[in-house]
Amino acid sequence: MSYIKPKFHHPLLPKNNLGYTRKDYEGSISTLCAGCGHDSISAAIVEACFALNVEPHKVAKLSGIGCSSKTPAYFLQNSHGFNSVHGRMPSVATGANLANCDLVYLGVSGDGDSASIGMGQFVHVVRRNLNMVYIVMNNGCYGLTKGQDSATADRGSISKGGDATLFEGIDLCSLAIELGATFVAQSFSGDKSQLVPLIEAAMSHRGFALINVLSPCVTFNNNPGSTKSYTYVREHNEALGNIDFVPVGNEITTTYNEGESVQVTMHDGSKLRLNKIDNQWDPQDRLSIISALKTAQQKHEILTGLLYVDKDSVPLHVKLNTTETPLNQLQEDKLCPGNNRLQEINVGLR
């Protein structure tokens, strides 16, 4: 069951530029376990949409099946949602996006949904560079069926029952970068200060934006020995640096030392500012992040932050040369060639 929250709220709640309060971006009450990382991510989505001044009804939220895929009910109540079939959210999002290029497409998936049953669709939505935000709520296990290992569980990670995972874990960020993804970030559900600007940046990116969020499962995968527990992720989290997201028209206020920061201007004019810890890494250099990820893997570190961004990203609609008007708004005059043309075609078939 999902519960409807009361609609009344304090009259002095802060409003964004569009006049919406945070409450306008919330959803129904979560039915996930208390302490679930996914709820923190939902809260970060609400915060990011509020801060970015997104019209709630101009967002379409899509998901597959699993605990993560239930969350779109828990944020953006004024957005249309689509809880599709297991592992197939990318295809539904692709069709929806092709039908109307004017909305923000927010896909939510899990590690089972993306890295196992939906791996095929995940791979192909990346390489098509569909203009969407794709958040993976990654907890290394199948929560809704009581804790089986997922394909992102690291080899050797200990399950609640005490067994070590036998197989190599799939790293979705490395994979996405290999596939030519144009925006790849990694974060932790417990680090809201990092996650919110990453979601804002992803929503401003014109193309496919992956955020792989480590989001511990408090019920089935939060035990000692698990590499997806709160304790483990906190201890091994290696943030690549602070990230500031500066929306269009806002001034840059933070200052960093020369050579330690990178500024990326997004397609919509907003800016990303990153101060870097590792000088070997440049978020616009695909090779440097591949190397950084491999190095971190060897040191059992979890790199978080914006890993890679290609500001020259060419999204699917541009590749397909579709018209600026959303296709779902085209009427008979644009769609139907009419009987005269048809009679000409008939003549050619005799």
User: Which lies closer to other proteins via its Cβ, residue 116 or residue 295?
Assistant: 116
Counting contacts by CB under 8 A, is residue 206 touching other proteins? no
For residue 100, what are the CA distances in angstroms to 105, 256, 313, 333? Answer: 10, 40, 19, 18
Q: Is 90 in the site for other proteins (CB under 8 A)?
A: yes
Do the Cβ atoms of 60 and 106 come closer than 8 Å? Answer: yes
Residue 183, both tokens:
């925006």
* Strand partners for 104: 59
Q: How far is the CB of 148 from other proteins (least distance, A)?
A: 21
The strand pairing partners of 171, in sequence order, are: none
Measured CA to CA, the distance from residue 307 to residue 88 in angstroms comes to 26
Residue among 120 and 156 whose Cβ is closer to other proteins = 120
Q: Is 57 in the site for other proteins (CB under 8 A)?
A: yes
Q: Is residue 217 close enough to count as binding other proteins by CB under 8 A? A: no
Q: Does 92 bind other proteins (CB under 8 A)?
A: yes
77 binds other proteins (CB under 8 A): yes
Distance from C-alpha of 24 to C-alpha of 232, rounded to nearest angstrom = 35
Q: Does the footprint of other proteins cover residue 334 (CB under 8 A)?
A: yes
Which tokens belong to 192?
Answer: 């809201």
Does 332 help bind other proteins (rule: CB under 8 A)? yes
List 186's β-bridge partners, or say none: 212, 305
The answer to the question of residue 298 lying near other proteins (CB under 8 A) is no
Q: Is 61 exposed, middle or buried (0-12, 13-18, 19+ CB in 10 A)?
A: buried
Contact flag: residue 250 with other proteins (CB under 8 A): no
Among 85, 179, 239, 264, binds other proteins (CB under 8 A): 85
Segment near other proteins (CB under 8 A), from 146-154, 161-169, 243-251, 316-324?
316-324
Does 29 interact with other proteins (rule: CB under 8 A)? no
Shortest reach from residue 81's CB to other proteins, in Å: 4
Which two structure tokens, joined as six digits, stand for 214? Answer: 């480590």
Minimum CB separation from other proteins for residue 47, in Å? 20
99-119 residues labelled b (16+ CB within 10 A) or e (exposed) = eebebbbbbbbbbbbbbbbbb
Q: Under rule CB under 8 A, how many of the chain's residues touch other proteins?
A: 62
Q: Give the pair of three-digit tokens for residue 62.
A: 């899509």
Restricting to residues 94-153, which ones interact with other proteins according to CB under 8 A? 94-100, 102-103, 120-121, 123-124, 128
Q: Check residue 93 for interaction with other proteins (CB under 8 A).
A: yes
The 10 Å Cβ neighbour count of residue 223 is 17
Terminus-to-terminus CA distance in the chain, angstroms? Answer: 62
What's the CA gap between 235 and 307, in Å, rounded? 20
Tell the smallest beta-carbon distance from residue 26 to other proteins (Å). 13
> What tokens were used for 186?
């990694």
Report if residue 9 touches other proteins, rule: CB under 8 A.
no
Chain positions contacting other proteins, by CB under 8 A: 1-2, 55-58, 60, 62, 72-73, 77-85, 88, 90-100, 102-103, 120-121, 123-124, 128, 316-317, 320-324, 327-328, 330, 332, 334-339, 341-343, 345-346, 349-350
